[in-house]
Amino acid sequence: MMRKIMLFIFIMALLVPAIPALAVSPAGEQYINQIVGGGYSSLRRSSQGIYRNELTERKVLDVLSEKVLRNYNTTNKTGVDALAWACKALGQSADPRYRNVLRTVNKNAKHAKVRKYAKQSLNKMPVVKVKKPYKKGSVDLDAMKKKLEKGQSAVPASKKSKGKKKSGKKKYSLSAIQKGMSIQEVSSLVGEPTSTTAHITGKSFNPFYYGGDHARVIHFYKGQGRVLYSKGSKYSSRAWRVFEVQIDLGEPGYP
């Protein structure tokens, strides 16, 4: 009997994600600002980033859920695509807190594409009882947008920054970068690099290899390190994405 109880506790620990810390990561803060302050293009871009980076911060997903619940009935082409990605982003978290969000979208969305991805993501969610499922109105997007209009971040990156007036856009160290980020996302977090270079790899000479990492783009940041980018396949037209960050305080900034 005791063995069965311990097995049940172990399974539940795997199914139910741990609640993250109250502080929002720099990447999470960036996604929140994009979701709150931008239109459908920004929503799509941030949702893609959350999905590819496998972000599971509840503060970020709460904001995304509120945006979805406010807009899931749109028939705008860009909006439909953005909402489909938003559903995928919620689904990859596997956090049952957002089951009711996806269920609502799957049941009521006007566009078939939005309903399709809401259903797919809903099927990925563990079916467990949740004490505090996300409810519409739990996040005040209007108040957060007013903060952005004043030149402030919608959500501080950490408790230490709370109460401090921000002048200009805050830049972070390379440690804030996550694998899978695009060049644009990295630049908005840490600023422009000191210098850049690019080169092909040995994989590009193999005519039977169609995977990724045929070429690399390297951004050098003086006194911080390097960020290496690659693409998913030889013929991919998608953006360059981070596959490695090398922290080096002695980096001269040039190849």
Q: How far is CA 3 from the centre of its chain?
A: 39
Largest CA distance in the chain: 64
Co-location of 17 and 91 in the same domain: yes
Question: Do residues 31 and 102 both lie within one domain?
Answer: yes
Tell whether 25 and 89 lie within a shared domain: yes
Q: Which helix (H) or strand (E) holds 227?
A: strand 225-230
∠ CA 119-121-122, nearest 5°, is 60
Instruction: Tell me, yes or no, whether 30 and 116 share the same domain.
Output: yes
Q: Which range has highest mean pLDDT (180-194, 204-218, 235-249)?
A: 180-194
Q: Which pTM was predicted?
A: 0.69
Indicate whether 187 and 71 sit together in one domain.
Answer: no
User: Residue 5 falls within a domain, yes or no?
Assistant: no
Q: Residue 163: inside a domain, yes or no?
A: no
Would you state the pLDDT for residue 238? 65
Please say if the pLDDT value at position 117 is more than 60: yes
Do 54 and 116 have their domain in common?
Answer: yes
Q: Which has more pLDDT, 63 or 3? A: 63
Tokens of 60: 């970020």
Among residues of the chain, what percentage have pLDDT more than 70? 78
Q: Is 34 inside any structural domain?
A: yes
- Same domain? For 105 and 180 the reply is no
Give the model's pLDDT for residue 209.
Answer: 57
Q: Is the pLDDT of residue 124 over 50?
A: yes
What average pLDDT does the structure give for the chain? Answer: 82
Q: How many residues does the chain have?
A: 255
Distance between CA atoms of 242 and 213, rounded to whole angstroms? 11
pLDDT in tens, 72-108: 999 999 999 999 999 999 999 999 999 999 999 999 9
Query: What residues make up the domain containing 232?
Result: 174-247
Q: What is the DSSP string of 81-139?
A: HHHHHHHHHHHHTT-GGGHHHHHHHHHH-SSHHHHHHHHHHHHHS-----SS---TTSS
129 and 209 share a domain? no
The predicted structure's pLDDT at residue 234? 59
Q: Residue 22's CB: how many other CB atoms inside 10 A?
A: 9
Within-domain flag for 147: no
Give the residue from 141, 160, 190 where a domain finishes.
141
Last residue in a domain, options 122, 141, 160? 141
Provide the CB-side half-sphere exposure for 198 (13 A, CA).
9
- Same domain (yes/no): 104, 14: yes
98 and 178 both lie in a single domain: no
Given a contact cutoff of 8 angstroms between Cβ atoms, the answer to whether 82 and 43 are in contact is yes
| Domain stops at, among 116, 141, 166 | 141
Please check whether residue 27 lies inside any domain of the structure.
yes
Query: Is residue 3 one of the residues assigned to a domain?
Result: no
Q: Is residue 77 part of a domain?
A: yes
* 102, two tokens: 């996806």
Burial of 180 (C-beta count, 10 Å sphere; 0-12/13-18/19+): middle
Token pair recorded at residue 223: 């006194």
Nearest to 113 by CA among 58, 76, 149, 69: 76
Does residue 224 belong to any structural domain of this protein? yes
The pair of three-digit structure tokens given for residue 116, joined into one six-digit string: 């399709």
Same domain, 137 and 178: no
Same domain, 27 and 124: yes
Please give the tally of structural domains in the chain: 2
Phi, psi of 204, rounded to the nearest 5 degrees: -70, -15
